Amino acid sequence: MAGVTQVQTTLNGEVINFLCEPRQSLLECLRDVLGMTGTKEGCNDGNCGACTVIMDGRIVDSCLVLGVEAEGKDITTIEGMATPEGLHPLQQSFLENAALQCGICTPGFLLASKGLLDQEPDADEGRIRHWLAGNLCRCTGYDKIVRAVLQVSKAK
Amino acid sequence: MTSNQVLSEVEYNVVGTRPVRPDGVDKVTGRARYGDDTNLTGTLQAKVLRSPHPHARVKSIDTSKAEAFPGVRAVITAKDLPFASLSKEELGGDYTALKFATDHMMASDKVLFKGHPIAAIAAVNGHVAQSAMDLIEVEYEVLESVVDVREAMKPGAALLHEDLRTNDMGETADTPSNISTHMSYATGDLEKGFAEADLVMEKEYTTATVHQGYIEPHNTTAFWNSDGQLNLWTSTQGSFQVRATVSNILRLPVSQIKVTPMEIGGGFGGKITAYLDAICAVLSKKTGSPVKAIMTRTEVFEASGPAPASWMRVKIGVKNNGKITAVETEMAMDAGAYPGSPVMQAIVCAFACYDVENGKVDGYDVVVNKPKSAAYRAPGAPQAAFAVESLIDEICGELKIDPIDFRLLNAAKEGTRRIEGLVAKRIGLVECLEAARDHDHYKSKLENGTGRGVACGYWPNRGFQSSVVMTVNYDGVVSLIMGSVDIGGTRASIAQQTAETLGIAYEDVKPTVVDTDSIGYTFITGGSRTAFATGIAAISAAEDVKEQMISRAAKIWDTSEDDIEFVAGMISHKSDEELRLSFKDLARQTATTGGSITGRSSVDPSGEGNGHAVHIADVSVDQETGKTDVTRFTAIQDAGKAVHPSYVEGQMQGGAVQGIGWALNEEYFFDDTGKMLNSSFLDYRMPTSLDLPMIDTVIVEVANPGHPYGVRGVGEAAICPPMAAVANAVTSATGNRMRSLPITPGKILEAGWDSVKS
């Protein structure tokens, strides 16, 4: 059995501490150690994007990040997207545009889209399609997802 | 920006609108609870040891070292299943079917595909279970395997099951074979039909093994309580289907099993089969703890799904004016390790779009050393449509007839008798073809280097059993309880049909999907049946509510029920205008007039609407690399009545894109022995947002006479036309006919070289 390490990180705006084994991924730490199951596992090898979170302003597949690498980082997960005042505009747009069917890929798409619009608030369709190519959705054919992001983008 | 059109014939108040789904907020905030989000105190993690060989005899299994590994709580093999300890008489029923079902879940004497479960471990966490797997010692005698469907059909091919004999139209053969079933239908006079033709064309087609590709891996949590009650929390398209499978394999009465369907992260037919449930149940019984398992992506590819590879020969005879005189096909599909490919649906759907006087269809269900195939969206029909629609395009080219005109000339319509004998009721194929012909996409000019293809597709859609219960709260809000798992918005579409029937607002219906103890039997969410059949159950339960509301009003007004009518959410006396109550006002008075009102309904409707779709695809093909890009795509489909048009469009777009993947990229690569070589999303390449244009839609509404609002299922017809539409577009762009899926860059380049040589 591997020993455990204490990790301090900023998660959705709050400084927290957790214990993890060196072999545990950030995805595993979020879901199994911290009980935050909003981040989803689709492949566990960095190819589907379902576990996308934002780390220090960059989108990452949390299955490819070790829990110990979260030390000193600033991480946003799906649980941190809405505020007490209401849903994030992207969340609202996904609902209104029927941009989800089964919903398993949705947290990852929302974080990836947020990561894009935070940096490029006027991303156009081509840019959105390029950026979201790391996130797989098998239900929608992407049409309504791209439209939902486009509606929030200033480029619409 | 491109458009989505709805060609409506009838408008309703709630049916046909686009409200936000009731489970939407939970799904965009990460609060929705999927199977893997189940966390019971003291849950152990399970891992399944799987065969590295596609075909081998299991000589021995030694689990003792794994059992002794720190943190391991239990190890099971097929010996721990009732099948191993009970006699043939005690097991009862169809012994062979039960052996296949049990062996598929965990191999006993033989492994039949790479990834076949051989043992399972429950441990304190997944890492420990994974480490202990290396300590299980299995001795195999590797056998020759057979991978290709046509090779498997040949006499002398390696046999998967020594006791499988071909069922040939009801007759059982004397010698064992990999051909499980041969089925055949015919109508008219085939010889005469082909003799009358001015042109007869006959070609062969193949399609590769593909996966449903849902993003959420299979998962289950089981807890076998000390009172004997087995609880399962799982990701499934059918909670009652899981209950039946587990009951069958574990020889438990169904009432001893409670299945709670968690939110499901995609299925497309692949989450009808219960892979992990019985394994976790037995591990839970052995350990006394809850046991959870989640497949890795490699396990999902190697041991769940896929859709079968196929070989198809199609022959069509036509007059010079394009009228079909005769059709014939032979289709063989690989079922994987155990019988049960969807070849029956393939041969039934093959020519269902056409009015055919003389025809014969033959299907072969064949076992090979691949994972047992599972349903995948319109199972069997997409492969058949690829073959038939490709040959029709070829004929249109030969006769210089517009492909939509050809199809309009031959289209099935109300009264058309199909080859297997079914006579079509009111169907909307002609309307779909006309909408395609009139669409600006079809009229638009093609740029140089691009090509256009059209194709149509058919899926019968299903009915079957559904149950619904609804209670009227004192504030007039209706709680809607159903057993149909919501895989893509059916909470919304069933709530809409409820609200429409009761004449109340969509927001005043609160739908909940419940476990198998809390509702009557409900068949799977699949077969394009839920909006139709569970919709009918909801409408019927709402009618039950309306009758009870009328009876309450009669009590309040001290009059006969016959004097009262329920129209558009108002309960009124037919002759006394003073006596009127809204649904909400009357709901408030239920407590004082006999208590709460509960409507209920269990239905088993026939009348399922036949689904038709027509797709137009434009592609550009890079002459140097052979890469195909879909540049424009329009999906047209008869929805009968679109309950929630956005979700209907979503089904059409999703089906089209899965079909585009099937056409261009997706395939299992096997080595000669049947080992899958590309079991990750990196190497099994599904379409990404970057690979696609917007998918334009036209919803055609030709009311289904079998549903009160005219609803037809929409989930499946959408995946039937795209492969042929894309293949026909590639021909239009390159001049070369592609008869083997997927149409990879390599195949396109090779076809180009071949045409230069000849």
Residues B139 and B49 reside in one and the same domain:
yes
Contacts of A81 in chain B (CB under 8 A): 29
**Is A34:A18 a contact under the CB 8 Å cutoff?**
yes
Measured between beta carbons, which residues in chain B are less than 8 angstroms from residue A110? Answer: 28
| Contact (CB<8Å) B690/A129 | yes
How confident is the model at residue B2, as a pLDDT? 52
Domain span at B286: 41-143+218-294
Q: Which chain B residues touch A67 with a CB distance below 8 Å?
A: none
Is B3 touching A (CB cutoff 8 A)? no
Nearest residue on chain B to A146, alpha-carbon basis: B689
Q: Where are the alpha helices (DSSP H) in B276-328?
A: 277-287, 297-303
Whether residues B222 and B340 fall in one domain = no
- pLDDT reported for residue B757: 67
Question: How far does the CA of residue B470 sit from the closest CA of chain A (Å)?
Answer: 24
pLDDT tens for each residue of B100-159:
999 999 999 999 999 999 999 999 999 999 999 999 999 999 999 999 999 999 999 999
- Residue B29 located in a structural domain: no
Residues B698 and B738 in one domain: yes
Residue percentage of chain B with pLDDT more than 90: 96
User: According to the model, what pLDDT value does residue B94 have?
Assistant: 85
Q: What is the per-residue pLDDT for B91?
A: 85
- The confidence score (pLDDT) of residue B758 equals 61
B657 to chain A: nearest residue by CA? A141
Peptide bond into B371 cis (omega under 30): no
Q: Can you tell me whether residue B658 is helix, strand or coil?
A: helix
CATH architecture under which domain A5-80 falls: Roll (3.10)
Q: Does B523 touch chain A (CB under 8 A)?
A: no
The whole-angstrom distance between residue B203's C-alpha and the CA centroid of its chain comes to: 28
Q: How many domains does chain B have?
A: 3
- pLDDT tens per residue across span A113-129: 999 999 999 999 999 99
Is residue B379 in a domain?
yes
Q: What is residue A124's predicted lDDT score, i.e. its pLDDT?
A: 97
Matching residue, tokens 């309960």: B571
How high is the pLDDT of residue B179? Answer: 98
Q: How far is B610 from B208, CA to CA, in rounded Å? A: 27
How far CA B564 is from CA of B244, B323, B549, B568, B585, in Å, comes to 45, 57, 10, 13, 16
Tell me whether the omega of the peptide bond preceding residue A107 falls within 30 degrees of 0, making it cis: no
B695–A38: do the CB atoms touch at under 8 Å?
Answer: no
Alpha carbon distance B685, B674 (integer Å): 19
Q: What mean pLDDT is predicted for residues B710-730?
A: 98
Q: How far apart are CA A40 and CA B235, in angstroms?
A: 14
pLDDT, residue B90, reads 87
User: What radius of gyration do chain A's Cα atoms show?
Assistant: 16
Report pLDDT for B552: 97
Question: By CA distance, what is B486's nearest residue in A?
Answer: A102
Residues of B in contact with A140 (CB under 8 A): 650, 653-654, 657
Indicate if B429 and B493 belong to the same structural domain.
Answer: no
| Residues facing residue B564 across a β-bridge | B573
Q: Do B655 and B704 share a domain, yes or no?
A: yes
Determine the pLDDT at residue A2.
61
| B31, B266, B294: residue with CB nearest A104 | B266
Between A and B, how many CB-CB pairs are < 8 A?
Answer: 185
> Are B264 and A144 a contacting pair at CB < 8 A?
no
d(CA A132, CA A142): 9
A140·B213 Cβ contact <8 A: no
Q: What confidence score (pLDDT) does residue B89 get?
A: 87
Chain B partners within 8 Å of A35 (Cβ): 39
Chain A positions touching B646 (Cβ under 8 A) are: 97-98, 144
Q: Collapse the DSSP code of B723 into the 3-class scheme (helix H, G, I; strand E, B; otherwise coil) and give the result.
A: helix
Q: How far apart (Å, rounded) are the C-alpha atoms in residues B160 and B177?
A: 8
pLDDT, average across residues B657-681: 98
Q: Do domains A5-80 and A89-152 have the same CATH topology?
A: no
CB contact under 8 A, A87 and B682: no
What is the rounded average pLDDT for all residues in chain B? 97
Packing angle between helix A89-96 and helix A143-152, nearest 10 degrees?
140
| Of A133, A136, A146, Cβ closest to residue B215 | A136
The domain spans of chain A are 5-80, 89-152
Residue B629's contacts (CB-CB under 8 Å, 6 or more residues apart) are: B619, B620, B621, B622, B691
Q: Indicate if the pLDDT at residue B287 is higher than 80.
A: yes
Q: pLDDT, tens digit, for every residue of B475-530?
A: 999 999 999 999 999 999 999 999 999 999 999 999 999 999 999 999 999 999 99
Please judge whether B689 and A146 are an interchain contact, meaning their C-beta atoms are less than 8 angstroms apart.
yes
Last residue of a domain, one of B585, B603, B621: B603
Look at chain A and count its residues.
156
Give, for B244, the enclosing helix (H) or strand (E). helix B239-250
Of residues B116, B57, B58, B77, the one with CA closest to residue B675: B116
Tell me if B590 is assigned to some domain: yes
State the Cα–Cα distance between residues B556 and A152, nearest whole angstrom: 53
Q: Are the Cβ atoms of A141 and B487 closer than 8 angstroms?
A: no
Q: Tell the residue number behind the tokens 């009557």, with chain if given.
A: B520
Is the pLDDT score of B571 beyond 80?
Answer: yes
pLDDT band at B448 (very low <50, low <70, confident <90, very high): confident
Residues B588 and B669 in one domain: no
B107 and B240 co-located in one domain: yes
Per-residue pLDDT for B596 more than 60? yes
Please return the burial class of A83, using the count of CB atoms within 10 Å of its CB with bins 0-12, 13-18 and 19+: exposed
Instruction: Report the C-alpha dihedral over residues B299, B303, B305, B307, rounded to 10 degrees.
Output: 120
Give the residues across from B459 on adjacent strands.
B611
Contact A136 B680 (CB under 8 A): no
Task: Determine contact: B51 vs chain A, CB below 8 A.
Answer: no
Same domain (yes/no): B79, B228? yes
Instruction: Give me the pLDDT at residue B503, please.
Output: 98
What pLDDT, on a 0 to 100 scale, did the predictor assign at position B665? 96
Q: Is residue B688 part of a domain?
A: yes
- Which among B582, B603, B624 is the end of a domain? B603
The nearest alpha carbon in chain A to B377 belongs to A139
User: Do residues B654 and A138 lie in contact, with contact meaning Cβ atoms separated by under 8 Å?
Assistant: yes
Residue B1 pLDDT level (bands cut at 50, 70, 90) = very low
Best of B3, B215, B304, B513 to disrupt the A interface (most A CBs within 10 Å) is: B215
Please answer yes or no on whether A104 and B30 come within 8 Å at the CB atom: no
Residue at B212 is within a domain: no
Q: What is the pLDDT of residue B207?
A: 98
Question: In whole angstroms, what is the distance from residue B712 CA to residue B429 CA?
Answer: 13
Statement to judge: residues B438 and B478 lie in one domain: no
Cβ contacts (< 8 Å) between B613 and chain A: which residues?
none
**Per-window interface: B 187-226 vs A, CB < 8 A:** 212-217
Rg for chain B, CA atoms, rounded: 27
Cβ count within 10 A of residue B41: 6
For B159, the token pair is: 């046999």
Distance from CA of A136 to the nearest CA of B (A): 6
Q: Are strands B478-482 and B509-513 parallel, antiparallel or unpaired?
A: parallel
Query: Does the pLDDT at position A148 exceed 60?
Result: yes
Chain B hits for A138, Cβ within 8 Å: 212-215, 266, 268, 654, 658, 686
Task: Using the predicted structure, report yes or no on whether residue A155 has a pLDDT greater than 80.
Answer: no
Contacting residues of B for A87, CB less than 8 Å apart:
25, 28-29
Query: What does the H/E/C string look like for B724-750?
Result: HHHHHHHHHHHCCCCCECCCCHHHHHH
Interface of B with A in 226-265 (CB under 8 A): 263-265
CB of B294 within 8 Å of any CB in chain A? yes
Interface test with B, best of A85, A102, A144 (most B CBs within 10 A): A102
Q: How far is CA B188 from the centre of its chain?
A: 32
Q: Search chain B and give the residue with CA nearest A94.
A: B28
Kindly report the CATH number assigned to the domain that includes residue B501. Answer: 3.30.365.10
Residue B93: pLDDT band by 50, 70, 90 thresholds?
A: confident
Establish if B343 belongs to a structural domain. yes
Q: In chain B, whose CA is at the least distance from the CA of A50? A: B215
Specify whether B532 is located in the same domain as B660: no
Burial of B93 (0-12, 13-18, 19+ CB in 10 A): exposed
- What is the CATH code of the structural domain delimited by A89-152? 1.10.150.120
B650–A140 CB contact, under 8 Å: yes
Question: What integer is the mean pLDDT of B369-380?
Answer: 98
Whether B532 and B590 share a structural domain: yes
State the pLDDT confidence band at B756, using cuts at 50, 70 and 90.
confident
Return the closest-CA partner of residue B196 out of B385, B59, B29, B323: B323
**Contact residues on chain A for B488, CB-CB shorter than 8 A:** 101-102, 139
Q: Are residues B594 and B616 in the same domain?
A: no
CA B259 centroid distance within chain? 21
Domain membership flag for residue B182: no
Whole-angstrom Cα distance, residue B502 to residue B553? 15
Q: Is residue B562 part of a domain?
A: yes
Average pLDDT over residues B450-474: 97
Mean pLDDT, residues B584-594 taken together: 96
ipTM: 0.98
